[in-house]
Each structure stands twice: as C-alpha cells, then as structure tokens.
Structure 1
Amino acid sequence: MPNPPVAQFSTKDRILGAAEELFAQHGLAGTSLRQVTSRADVNIAAVNYHFGSKENLVNEVFRRRMDEMCGLRLRMLREAQEQRPGELEPVLAAFVEPPLALTRDRGGSAFIRVIARAYAEKNDGLRKFLSEEYGHVLREFAKAIAVCVPELSKEQLYWRLDFLAGALIYAMADFGLIKRQPGVSEAAHSERAARELIVFAAAGLRI
C-alpha cells in the first residue's frame, strides 16, 4: 500500500515564510528580494508572479497573520458585548489577548519582531495598507470602549487607544524589564502579560 503524500508548503507560503523570517532579522528596508528568493529557494520570477513587488510582499506577510488575529479580536469583542455589556475589561481582553497569543507560536514570534521593526522604520506604504485593511477593527473597539467610558471625549479616547496599542507592541516584543522566569511556560508568561496590561489599560481609560 503506497504511503500517503507528504504535505508541502506551496511556493507562495515558502516565500511568505522566508520573507517573515528575514524581515524579523533585518527589517523591511534591510531585506532584499534576492535574500528572500535565496531563503525560499525560488527564483525572482516566482516572487513577481505571486506578489508583483516587494511592497506587496510586505503587505501579504502582514495579511497572513492579521486576518486571523483581527477575526479573533472581533469575535471576542462580540462575545464580550453580548455576555457582559458595558464592562470594560472584557473588551480590553478581546483587544489584547489575540496579539499576545502570537508569542506562543513559533511563526508568530517572528511576526512580532517584524511588527516592532515596522514601527521603528515608519513604513508609510505599510501604514496605509494596515489602515485601509484593518482600521475598521480599531474603530469597532473605539466604539465599544466609548460605551464603557462615556465621560471620555473622542480625542481623549483615541489618544489612550494609541498608548494602549504602543504598550501592547512593547509587551509582545518582550522588550521590557519583566522577563519570563525559569520554569514559567511561554503560555503562562503571555497570559500574565495580558492580565497586567488589561488592568493597566482599564485604569488609564477610566482616569
């Protein structure tokens, strides 16, 4: 009886995986398409066929992770609104927990470093792409949080959401003083980070 076929990554997936790893190591500007093709073991024609340009490749690296993460965020937000209407902490959990869960995934940890580098590089094309594709997610959370803290003006709310997003990126990248202790799993460390960030954000939004 023949052995079942071994699942293989498609050429597109190999290119995306190679690009993500290289962007995490060298940044978006510091990575060339030649490096990507070498890591993925494909030729430049394959990159052009699937993505057309380096800018589109960068966007698709983000789309591959962001679609799933944002979908989970919105599902958790709907559950929070249905099950615990008017409560701030469940809304914040829906915003914070899905991104932090990426730290427990090997591929996700590389993407987190890509996010950190992208913020540092101030890539305008990427920011435009993320705003157009995923800006609605932030707006849904802004509306939900506004219901919980109606005393905040719209301007105050968006300032504080900006600060929360920055703190979340910082926590995801594990830049801070608090490091995972010996004997503490990645999952436990990530869950603790989420709990502490939710408490911190709730206090900041309520002031």
Structure 2
Amino acid sequence: MGDDVKTRGQSKVETSDRIVRAAEVEFAERGFEGAGMKAISQRADVSQALLHYHFGNKDHLYSEVVRRRSKLINTERQALLEQVDLTASDAVERILDALFRPPLGPAGGDQSYTRIFGGLIVGRERDRALVKEFYDPTAQEFIRALQGALPDISQKTAAHAYTLALGTLVVMISRDGRVERLMGQREMRDTEEILQGLITFAKAGIMALATQED
C-alpha cells in the first residue's frame, strides 16, 4: 500500500528512471555479484515486487543501466564526431575529443557509472556482451573516422589505436585516487586539463602506430 501511495502520482517512466538511477549506484558500489535487488529497491524507495515488475531480474536491470547510460554517451559522441572535418589538420585531436569528452561530462554520469564503465572494458562474458551490443557500433564509427583522418592506416591499426585510447580513458575516469596519489595532489584536475592530457597522449600513440604500417 505504501508504494502504491508513493508512486500514484508518478508515471511508469518516472518510477523506472528512479529504479535505474538507484541500481547504477548499487552496481557501482558493490559490483554485479554484490548488488542485491532488495538493496536496490530500498535505494529507489519501491517494493521488490514493483522492481521485478519493471525489470524482471538483476541481469535485465544491469543491462538497462548500461543501455541507458551508453545511449547518452554515444549520442553525444556521435554528435561531436559528425562535426569533425576529417581533412583538417586537427582531425585526430577532434576525433579524440569526441571520444573522451562525453564520458567525462554530464552524459557520463557521476562517479557511479565511471566504475561500471571501467569494469565493462575488462569484464566477464556478461559485460563483453553488453559492450558488443551497446558500444561496438559507435566504436566502428570512430575507427572509420581515424581511417578517414589518416588514410594510410589500416582498419587493424585504427582499431588498435582506438582500443589503446579507450584504455587510457578508463584509467583516468576510474576515480580510485591512484592517479591523484601518483601526481602528488589531492584533487583531480579540471575536465579540460584532463581532456588535453588524454588527447595529447593518445594522439602521439596513434601517430606512432601509423608510422609502423607495413
């Protein structure tokens, strides 16, 4: 009865959104195995029955968390990538900006999703399947863009470059305190400074790979 009263004035979409936001935090803090449907229902302030009504089981809820967040990230990535002139001298930098900026900004969520994002890249079979479904199509667009900006590199090299650049991003957004500790400072630098460091480093690596083409 209590949940009926609380959600009476809310649409199914609003309730669903609240559950997904709560689940994102729970999965980030405890991982998939440690997260519990009861804990998620408590965070979302809904009954477990309502939670199961909306999402069925934990696998489906986890998939929905990744699907919704990846859509926000990839929509912004694609919009930025479409603005890149692949014939311009700064094309590689702008491609990398389009890759890195969304996960570091509002589309990437807060610290919660950064932990999930990092886990997806090195995750188990469940995570690999979600990456394939929700991230690979956009990844292919970036690989083609790199080939357009650097016409002499192969798809293999462009894919290698993309993967290494993404790995660098994951380290920077992990927010586990190690980067700050190694840098000898207490707080992460501002987003623009982080972006410029990522872009400079990744571009240098991409150009070095390009020179190794057979």
Alignment TM-score, normalising by the size of structure 1: 0.82
Match of 2:162 in 1: 161
Amino acid at match of 2:104: L
Match of 1:3 in 2: none
Deviation at 1:130, TM superposition (A): 2.8
1:123/1:47 CA distance change after superposition, 3 Å: farther
The answer (yes or no) to whether the contact 2:70–2:134 under 8 Å persists in 1 is no
Match of 1:178 in 2: 183
User: Is residue 2:86 matched to residue 1:77?
Assistant: no
Give unpaired runs (5+ residues) of structure 2.
1-8, 209-214
Q: Whose relative contact order is higher, 1 or 2, with alpha carbons under 8 Å and at least 6 apart? A: 1
Structure 1 CA distance, aligned partners of 2:25 and 2:17? 12
Deviation at 1:140, TM superposition (A): 0.5
Deviation at 1:180, TM superposition (A): 6.0
User: Is residue 2:207 matched to residue 1:202?
Assistant: no
1:80/1:155 CA distance change after superposition, 3 Å: same
1:85/1:49 CA distance change after superposition, 3 Å: farther
The residue correspondences of 1:52-91 to structure 2 (distance < 5 A) are 52-81=56-85, 84=88, 87-91=91-95
Structure 2 CA distance, aligned partners of 1:69 and 1:179? 30
Give unpaired runs (5+ residues) of structure 1.
1-5
Match of 2:5 in 1: none
Structure 2 CA distance, aligned partners of 1:58 and 1:143? 30
Structure 2 CA distance, aligned partners of 1:99 and 1:180? 23
Runs of 4+ in 1 over 6 A off after TM superposition: 6-9
Q: Percent identity?
A: 28
Amino acid at match of 1:111: Y
The residue correspondences of 1:25-174 to structure 2 (distance < 5 A) are 25-81=29-85, 84=88, 87-102=91-106, 107-120=109-122, 122-174=123-175
RMSD over aligned CA atoms reads 2.7
Amino acid at match of 1:91: I
Structure 2 CA distance, aligned partners of 1:97 and 1:135? 18
Deviation at 1:163, TM superposition (A): 1.0
The answer (yes or no) to whether the contact 2:63–2:130 under 8 Å persists in 1 is yes
Alignment TM-score, normalising by the size of structure 2: 0.80
